[in-house]
Every structure is written in structure tokens, then in C-alpha cells.
Amino acid sequence: MSEKVTISFSEEQEQLLEVAINFARDKSPIKTVRALIEDDLGYDGDIWQEMVDLGWLGVALPEEYGGIGLSLAEVVTLAEPMGRHLMATPFYAVTLTGQALLAGGTEAQKQEWLPKLASGTLGACAFYEPSGEWNLGAPDAVATRDGDSLRLSGSKCAVVNGAGAEVLIVSLLLEGAPALVLVEKGQIPDGALRREVSIDETRRTYGLSLDGITVPASQLLDPARTHEALKHIGKVGCLLLAADMCGAAQAALDYIVEYLNTRKQFDRLIGSYQALKHPTVDVLCAIESARSHLYYAAGEFDGPQGDMAVRMAKVAAQGALSFAGDRAIQFHGGFGFTYDCDAQLYRRRAIWGQSQFGDSAYHRQRLAAMLFDAS
């Protein structure tokens, strides 16, 4: 007999979801999304400040560090509507930075930086490297002790919202073991952080050269907590991405349905043809399945099945968004293959989401191993 699965949804989540839906819809129409692609900063500073004033950056941070003291399940209800409107803000990067510090930082580091992040100070995480390795515990970048300092070397890529970040959490090897180091903006030399060309230009990513950066040894995150911190960071990243991609998949479906109900061929709305109706229903089913995985993973995040649930949620969300974006492009014909078609934005978001914290094949491999071990 299969085990009963419960998907919980609290009153706080319901309230946050309603506020986030209205906020994202009003602040991030598709014209604004496209305008910000051409903007140097990549997001609207005034809208970011409004999010800060709403307290969204501190939702999953303890009250003792300036947060609200809720859980990541509540953060999901904020991230999904943002994804639905492709909202360009540093929310993802700052939330991930806060969770990295919360899981792996020393008490002094948490006391100093978490209240700042909760109040809108920008933070970013530098985990990825040109080798393409998704295992956070196997970086190529290195830190070498030099008295009371650490000399860093190597390079990082795909640092989301790295420009303007006051603090970065960097993964590297220290004396042969994985470690996390806090690097402040003033410690990064001019030219070490450079803008990258990304498949999804609604996201800003940067490359970072660590060569020549030296930080005090006190900026090393708690070595005793590194393993658990890396595991937590991976789970948080997958959960936030799953929420973002579920929202974007729903937007792609809305875009499809609107087109099917307005475009005519042979004096008939194309939405009346079964060849288009059936795959549209398949998209809807994929999205509903992905959202079920998402909200189960959000509720089970700290539970015994949390790791598996989060991986499944990311796989399901990637599949739903990829399928929805692909169908949106195909249904729009030749126009769908141009960058002027909004379907392109959804398909590109799916590709970008796959590049962060592991693609579907990566997670399926690990899920298979986990399931076989469990049996």
C-alpha cells in the first residue's frame, strides 16, 4: 500500500500568495520585462525597495536576525508569482545568500549580515565554475592560508546579480576540503567581476576571478557546518527554481490559450482544432503535477523526504516549463522562433533553470540512487 501524501497550505501562505500575485502582475507586465533586458542594472530599484518594505527578504529568516521567522514554504508563495511574470529582481540571489549564511555562517557573521540582507542589502552566491560541475562539494577554486588571511584563486561563473552585491558567499577548497568564504564587495578588485551573456537576459549573471583576492580568515564560514550548509543551499536553490519555473510555465500556458482564442485560420479559431487543444491540455496537466510536487516539497522541506521531494519538484517544474515554452513557440509558427515572440522568454527561462543546481538528468540519477538505497 502506498504511503499517503499530504500537501499543506497555511493561512500565511494563502495571504502571501494573494499579495504576491497582485504585486507581480502590477509591477512586472511583459513590456517592463522586455525594457529591463536592455537596462544596465537589470531590475527596477524602486520596485525592489517596495519588496524590501513588504518584508519579503526576511520571510524565512529568524526574528533574532531581523526576519519574520516563517519558513521556505512561505517564500515559495512569493517566488511562484514572480516567475509567472518573469519579474526581474535580486530576490532569488539575496534569499539564497541569506539561507547560505543561516545554514553555515558563524554567529558573528549571521549577526552582522542577516539583518542587512533582510533590509535589502544585496548578496550573491558564487558556486559554479567553467567545468560545469553541479556537485557543490567539489569546487576547483582554492583558498590557501597565509597567516591570519586566506588567499583565493580560481574563477566562478553564473553569479546571479553579482554586480552591486555587498557580500558574496564563495565555495572553494581549503586544505583539500570544501569550504565557504564570505567575500565583501570592497575586497573584489576592479575588473574581477564581469557581465556574462546569458540565455535568459531577464537574469543578470557574472563571472568572477578570485585571483588576487585576500580575505581575513575570520570570513571563513563555520567549517563544522560546511557539509550541511552545502546540502541546505542545494535544496533551497532547487526549491526556489521549481517555484519560479512553475510560475513561468503557467504564464506560458496563459500565452498559448490567449493565442488559440484570437488567431484564426480558415475562418475558425485555431483553438478549435484538436491538434492544438490536446497538447494544450497536456501542458495544463504537466503544470498541475509540477505544482503538486512544488508545494509538497515546500511543506516537506525539513522532513525525512525533503531531499527527494525537492529534487522531484525541480525535475517536474523543468519538464513543465520546457514543454509549455516549446508548445508556445510551435503554435506561434514562424513568429514563435523570433525573439519578439514572448514564448521565447519562457523557453529561455526553462534552459536557464536547468543550468542552475542540476538539470533533470542529474537529479534523476541521484533520485534513482536514493530510491534504491531506501528499498
Instruction: Reduce the DSSP state of residue 94 to 3 states and report it.
Output: helix
Q: Do residues 156 and 210 touch, judged by C-beta distance below 8 A?
A: yes
**Per-residue pLDDT at 1:** 34
> Given a cut of 90, is residue 14 above it in pLDDT?
no
**How many whole angstroms separate alpha carbon 164 and alpha carbon 90?**
10
Q: Do residues 228 and 104 touch, judged by C-beta distance below 8 A?
A: yes
Residue 20 to residues 79, 83, 144, Cα–Cα distance (Å): 8, 11, 44
Q: Mean pLDDT throughout 150-175?
A: 96
Percent of the chain whose pLDDT exceeds 70: 97
Strands 214-216 and 264-265: unpaired
Determine which of 8-12, 215-219, 222-226, 293-297 has the lowest per-residue pLDDT on average. 8-12
State the pTM of this model: 0.95
Closest CA to 168 of 212, 129, 121, 211: 121
**Per-residue pLDDT at 136:** 93
User: Which range among 16-20, 38-42, 197-201, 213-217 has the greatest average pLDDT?
Assistant: 213-217
Q: Which residues contact 185 (CB under 8 A, 6 or more apart)?
A: 165, 166, 167, 168
Q: What is the pLDDT of residues 45-89, one digit of tens each?
A: 999 999 999 999 999 999 999 999 999 999 999 999 999 999 999
**How many whole angstroms separate alpha carbon 355 and alpha carbon 306?**
22
**How many whole angstroms separate alpha carbon 33 and alpha carbon 35?**
6
Q: Mean pLDDT throughout 134-158?
A: 95
Closest CA to 181 of 173, 171, 189, 191: 171
pLDDT band at 371 (very low <50, low <70, confident <90, very high): confident
Q: Do residues 328 and 344 touch, judged by C-beta distance below 8 A?
A: no
Q: Do residues 315 and 364 touch, judged by C-beta distance below 8 A?
A: yes
**Per-residue pLDDT at 264:** 84
**Per-residue pLDDT at 375:** 57
Written as one letter, the residue type at 42 is G
Between 14 and 33, where is the model more confident?
A: 33
Burial class, 79, CB count within 10 angstroms (exposed 0-12 / middle 13-18 / buried 19+): buried
Q: What is the pLDDT of residues 253-290, one digit of tens each?
A: 999 999 999 998 888 888 888 899 999 999 999 999 99
**Per-residue pLDDT at 330:** 95
**Per-residue pLDDT at 173:** 97
